[in-house]
Chains A and B, each alone.
Chain A
Amino acid sequence: MSELPPFLLFFAAALLAAFTRGLPRQLILLATPVVTGLYLWQGINPGTDVAYSVMGYELSILRADKLSLLFGYLFCIASFFGAIYALHVEDTKQHIAGMTYAGSALGAVFSGDLITLFIFWELLAISSVFLIWARGTERALKAGMRYLVYQVLSGVLLLAGALVYYHQTGTLEFNHIGLDVGVAGWLIFIAFGIKCAFPFLHTWLTDGYPEATVTGTVFLSAFTTKVAVYSLARGFAGEEILVYIGVTMACFPIFYAVIENDLRRVLAYSLINQVGFMVTGIGIGTALALNGAVAHAFSDVIFKGLLFMSMGAVLYRVGNINGSDLGGLYKSMPKTTALCVIGALSISAFPLFSGFVSKSMVMTALMQENHGYFWLLMLFASAGVFHHAGIKIPYFAFFHHDSGIRTQEAPTNMLVAMSVAAFLCLFIGMQPQYLYALLPWEVDYWPYDLTHVLAQTQLLFFSALAFVWLNKQGLYPPELHSVNLDAEWFYRRLIPAGTHRTVNFLQRAKASMVTTVTNQIQGMQEQFGKSPLAKYHLSESWPTGSMVFWISIILAFLLLDIFSLGPLA
């Protein structure tokens, strides 16, 4: 029984979703994550390893231990509430893409070697882009294309890294890799880094996610970055550089999130910020920190999913998600408002909510390892989270000045999905021992001690105070229709413009050279035209001429080179 890789069920569901409609399809979509989740829980023992052999390489398609199982449960939960949330969607390709995407994520976390990982890595990219394209707008098409280029680039780097790694070490097993193995380590590291949204490599996320469909974003936010977090935790735990990267990731998105108008893009930035906490934990590398990182991944998927779902519900009902155009929606959508606030409190790490019990592990680990300054920066990041995700999101969407929009409450299936996620947020926050029991490393930790609770509460209230004061003074960045420049400026503006100029310059240079040469040739042709040879002259507007030119070049090169070498045999 435990021989069967868990992703198969998802792929089968994707196939069935193509041929069924209506109720049977809804049942399939709901049953798949539940059955897979039960199977993971009961059917697979930690330590299972199913190997197969392809082209003489020993590959492992199902390698289960506590780390991969934890992510397995997580992905089942995420695809469960994602499926409920998307129950009303008729669009077949979104369902197929969603199921394939979730299945690939499962496949990736259970793969025991780099080649299997690479295959699922690419599948993740290809299946997920359809969730963006399904939106059908011109912007979504282009953003999807850019997203795909980034993702495929990551896959290519991973494959290259895997090959070099095999070349150097003679094994393809996916265990701790580390940066000490040289080029191979760095290639794989950057491949993971792209999917993990490292600074400057993150633009696909903030570019692509907000353009996806209402239901697609919920799926997207759950899988890609978390697979990358898992891979980093397995391959690069304890690499010092990750602490620096993680702290940067936790801090810089805050500024963007505060000034961004599109509320789903705000959430995308806050996703990077949360992943920053996980990356930092992985970088510290102690048992507590790693536990914190994966626990935070667990709670993040749930509360970030909840927030994306609530914003999706607003987008679904209002058709617009710009902070400047919304406001006062709590009157029409009270239930959505309440559920969104639960998500906001969780991400801000209020005591008794899920963010608190996982984030505090990373913070404690930072202190234990004497990273005092980083601890302060992370404290700033925590305050920032509360600012942009905890207050800004619900405030601008549901409260703020009344925009006059009157609409309906979100559809029932969306409310159910959000309630499931909200329940999990509260449950994890109040009964963290169940989550802790699942964590891969042995650790004795309890978040609810006096200093912790006090410090966090103080932080939150002062942060709230800052928001209120800035808002009252009119100093808070207003919500505007504007484009904020991010690292993507380099490839969307600078490089095209630069290339444009260079090409222009080269074209001008070519044109002037061509005119000079043509004038010369015309002069010669006039001379030639008077000669009796002229009647043998053939038209030159065909490629034949340049072909002959190249033939003579190559022939001359080869002959000269061979003769200069002297006798060869």
Chain B
Amino acid sequence: MGNHISLLLVIVPLIAAPLVAVLPRGRLPWAASFFVSVVCAVFAGIQLWSVLQGGVISYELGGWAPPWGIEYRIDAVNAFVALIVAVIAALTLPYALHSVEREIPEEKIPTFYSALLLCLTGLLGITQTGDIFNVFVFLEISSLSSYALISLGKSRQAFTSSYQYLIMGTIGATFYLIGVGLLYSQTGTLNMQDMANILPSVLHLNTVETGFTFIMVGIALKLALFPLHLWLPNAYTYAPSVVTVFLAATATKVAVYVMLRILFTVFPQTFTIATPADELFIVAGMAGVIIASVYAIYQKNIKRLLAYSSVAQIGYMVLGIGFATATGLMATLIHLFNHALMKGALFMAIGAIIYRIDSCRLDQIHGLGRAMPWTFGAIVLGGLSLIGVPGTAGFISKWYLVTAALEQSAWLPVAVILIGSLLAVVYMGKLIEALYFKPVTDNRKVVTEAPLMLLMPTWCLVLANIYFGLDTDLTVGVAEQAAAILGGMKP
């Protein structure tokens, strides 16, 4: 197979999606999707391994040589992100079996899995492609399927929040497309590598600068940069549990990746630093960390609480981009990975609670921790990682982020990062207090521990949080290479 792996990673779920939709009801659609996700995870693993061994993979679609044909160009950066997406998908699907049967009407289950696979296709496609217009195409595939997925949520608000997300997401995608169009008009190419070679000669043109701005704002919306995060809390809260897990752990991460590509590969780094973009990222990142964390503290719905915490965590990633140094980019990439682990684990645990009591209101979960010790343990450990306690993955991210800030003698961001951790203690403390220390509400039926199929993937992620907090060879090693590729320098 060799280099075809890079293509197969996108083609396999794409072809599987319509097939799954026509499979008979029952567990067959699930089994097929699970199989596909595992295949993708294996491919993504092989791909990352061969990139780390042999450098950049360049795959020409249909044998058309770039810059005319579409090129899939894989280096350590996107191989890393693709692995995150594929592995999270492979862990989400075993979790999905029971959770989906509980939350989705039976006749819609095949379409649900079909949409999930399309979403996976889109996200993997964005990471694989080296063509700036192709990114837009995959962005739309993943977005449209995620609108459909969110609208399948149980409550009526799922429709409106999906519809809002559709409007806002489309604005973002349109902005991106406008930007791409403007760049195309001046460079005549859509291949990222080719564009990077041509751009330096036309950077002085207002058209190019405008294109840059439009792309940036469009992607900033997709990655939920504060204050463009308004679509996120509703979408995460009302989506089915499985969708929340999958989107929270992958969708915004992929958007962060696109942002990194545009800012550091397509445009020369000197240009990015000369624009106010990096300052904007630092300001928006700091505001996001503080304000979204404070919002999180006051939420009455546990999914919404974690959704706001996600906005705050994106603030950390964006801070790393804003520093625009090798260490800063490393911090962003490490946190990208670690945040997928911790939010994945936390949303899975919350999904297990919803599976049992069919509610995610803070006042409904009193005392549940004692009835569901394993779920509760996952929330506690995931929460510690979110706070950044040493020995967890979260600590590694914060450590590199603080180091990056100190390198620049940026004291305010350091303070903000540390205050953000304190606020995380407060909102996770609220959750844990409600789960364990509040007395059980009287009129509740007896609750037992969540089924094993929900617990196993959750604990896989929880243990990964601990593992990657102790052994940082994979994360830091890959992030170091990736940051070197992006920044064009050794950290």
A residues contacting B by CB (< 8 A) are 55, 118-119, 122, 126, 133, 141, 145, 148-149, 152-153, 156, 159-160, 163-164, 167, 542-544, 546-548, 550-551, 554-555, 557-559, 561-563, 565, 567-569
The reply to whether B414 and A160 contact each other, CB–CB distance below 8 Å, is: yes
Q: How far is the CA of A547 from the CA of B216 in the complex (A)?
A: 16
**A148 neighbours in B (Cβ, 8 Å):** 425, 429
Looking at A148, A152, A558, the one whose CB has the most chain B CB atoms below 10 A away is: A558
CA gap between A542 and B164 in the complex, in Å: 8
- Establish whether residues B213 and A569, one from each chain, have CB atoms under 8 Å apart when the complex forms: no
B168-A559 in contact (CB<8A)? no
A562, B276: Cβ atoms closer than 8 Å: yes
Contact B429 A145 (CB under 8 A): yes
Cβ of B134 within 8 Å of any chain A Cβ, yes or no, is no
Contact between chains at A122 and B390 (CB < 8 Å): yes
Interface string of B224-264 (1 = CB under 8 A from A): 00011011001000000000000000000000000000000
B214: which A residues are within 8 A, CB to CB? 555
B123 close to chain A: CB less than 8 A: no
Q: Which of A133, A141, A568 contacts B275 (CB 8 A)?
A: A568
B268, closest chain A residue (CB): A569
Point out the residues of chain A lying under 8 angstroms from B220, CB to CB: 554
B406 touches A167 (CB 8 A): yes
- In the assembled complex, which residues on chain B have CB atoms less than 8 Å from the CB atom of A548? 168, 171
Given A133-B437, A167-B406: 15 more A-B contacts, CB < 8 Å: A141-B433, A149-B426, A160-B402, A163-B403, A546-B230, A558-B275, A558-B276, A558-B277, A559-B209, A559-B213, A562-B212, A562-B213, A562-B276, A565-B275, A567-B203
Q: How far is the CA of A542 from the CA of B165 in the complex (A)?
A: 11
Contacts of A163 in B (CB 8 A): 402-403, 406, 414
Q: How many of chain B's residues have a CB under 8 angstroms from any CB in A?
A: 50
A546–B231 alpha-carbon span in the complex (Å)? 11
B35 within 8 A of A: no
Beta-carbon contact of B213 and A555 below 8 Å: yes
Q: How many A-B residue pairs have CB under 8 A?
A: 109
Is the C-beta of B15 less than 8 angstroms from some C-beta in chain A? no
B426: chain A residues within 8 A (beta carbon) = 149
Digitize B390-433: 1 where CB-to-A-CB distance is under 8 Å, 0 elsewhere. Answer: 11000000010011001000000010001001100110010001
B155 at the interface (CB under 8 A from A): no
A164 engages B406 (CB within 8 Å) = yes
Residue ID in chain A nearest B217 by CB atoms: A555
Evaluate contact between A568 and B280: CB separation under 8 angstroms.
no
Partner of B204, one of A153, A543, A567: A567
**Residue ID in chain A nearest B279 by CB atoms:** A561
* B160: A residues at CB distance < 8 A: 542
Interchain CA distance A548-B231 in the complex, whole Å = 11
From A550, which residue of chain B is reached at the shortest CB distance? B227
A547→B429 contact, CB < 8 A: no
Q: Which residues of A contact B5 (CB under 8 A)?
A: none
Residues of B within 8 A of A542 (CB): 160, 164
10 contacts between A and B (CB under 8 A): A118-B390, A159-B418, A163-B406, A543-B234, A544-B167, A548-B168, A554-B280, A555-B217, A558-B217, A562-B276
Closest residue on chain B to residue A126 by CB atoms: B389
Residues of B within 8 A of A153 (CB): 422
Residue of B nearest to A567 (CB): B204
Contact call B213/A543, Cβ cutoff below 8 A: no
Bound form: Cα–Cα A304–B63 in Å: 81
- Most-contacted residue by chain A among B213, B270, B426 (CB, 10 A): B213
- With A55-B476, A558-B275 as given contacts, are A544 and B164 in contact (CB-CB < 8 Å)? yes
With both chains docked as a complex, state the minimum distance between the C-beta of B276 and any C-beta of chain A, in angstroms. 4
Closest to A183 in B: B411
Q: What residues of chain B have their CB less than 8 Å away from a CB belonging to chain A?
A: 160, 164, 167-168, 171, 175, 200, 203-204, 206, 209-210, 212-214, 216-217, 220-221, 227-228, 230-231, 234, 268, 270-271, 274-277, 280, 389-391, 399, 402-403, 406, 414, 418, 421-422, 425-426, 429, 433, 437, 472, 476
In angstroms, Cα B403 to Cα A565, docked, is 31
> In the bound complex, do residue A543 and residue B164 qualify as a contact, i.e. CB atoms below 8 Å apart?
yes
Q: Decide: A568 and B204 in contact? CB cutoff 8 A.
A: yes
The minimal Cβ–Cβ distance linking B362 to chain A, given in whole angstroms, is: 16
A103 CB, min distance to chain B CBs, angstroms = 14
Residues on B with C-beta less than 8 A from A559 are 209-210, 213
Do B216 and A558 touch across chains, with their CB atoms under 8 A apart?
A: yes
Q: In the complex, A152 Cα to B390 Cα: how many Å?
A: 12
Measured between C-beta atoms, what is the minimum distance from A159 to chain B in Å?
8
Q: Is A55 touching B390 in the complex (CB atoms < 8 A)? A: no
Give Cα distance in the complex from A152 to B217, angstroms: 37
The chain B residue with its CB closest to the CB of A559 is B213
Cα distance A543–B224 in the bound complex, in angstroms = 14
Question: Which 9 residue pairs are nearest across A and B when measured between Cβ atoms?
Answer: A569-B203, A567-B204, A543-B230, A561-B276, A568-B274, A547-B230, A558-B213, A550-B227, A119-B390
Whole-angstrom CA separation of A55 from B433 in the bound complex = 34
> Complex formed: what's the CA distance from A550 to B418 in Å?
27
Closest Cβ neighbor of B472 among chain A residues: A55
Which residues of chain B are near A118, meaning CB under 8 Å?
390
A565 to B204 alpha-carbon distance, docked (Å): 11
CA A456 – CA B490 in complex, angstroms?
68
Check A145 against B433 for contact (C-beta < 8 Å). Answer: yes
Contacts of A164 in B (CB 8 A): 406
User: What is the CA–CA distance of A550 and B274 in the complex, to the nearest angstrom?
Assistant: 23
Task: Please indicate the chain A residues that have their CB under 8 angstroms from the CB of B277 in the complex.
Answer: 558
Known contacts A145-B429, A551-B217, A558-B213; is-contact A569 B271 (Cβ 8 Å) = yes
Q: Is the CB of A141 within 8 A of B280?
A: no
CB distance from B194 to the nearest CB of A (A): 18
- Interchain CB contact under 8 A, A554 and B276: no
> Do A122 and B422 have beta carbons less than 8 Å apart?
no
Contact B231 A149 (CB under 8 A): no
The listed residue (A133, A562, A569) touching B270 by CB distance below 8 A is: A569
Q: Which residues on B sit within 8 Å (CB–CB) of A55?
A: 399, 472, 476
CB-defined contacts of A557 to chain B, threshold 8 Å: 276, 280
Query: A55 to B277, alpha carbons, bound, how many Å?
Result: 31
Q: Contact check, A122 vs B389: say whether CB atoms are below 8 A apart.
A: yes
CB-CB < 8 A to A547: which residues of B? 168, 171, 221, 228, 230-231
User: Is the Cβ of B228 less than 8 Å from the Cβ of A152?
Assistant: no
In whole angstroms, how far apart are the Cα atoms of A539 and B307 in the complex? Answer: 25
Q: A152, B171: Cβ atoms under 8 Å?
A: no
Chain A residues lying within 8 Å of B164, measured Cβ to Cβ, are 542-544
A152 pairs with B422, CB closer than 8 A? yes
Instruction: Determine if B390 and A544 form an interchain contact, defined as CB atoms under 8 angstroms apart.
Output: no
CB distance from B463 to the nearest CB of A (A): 17
Q: Please name the residue on chain A nearest to B204 by beta carbon.
A: A567
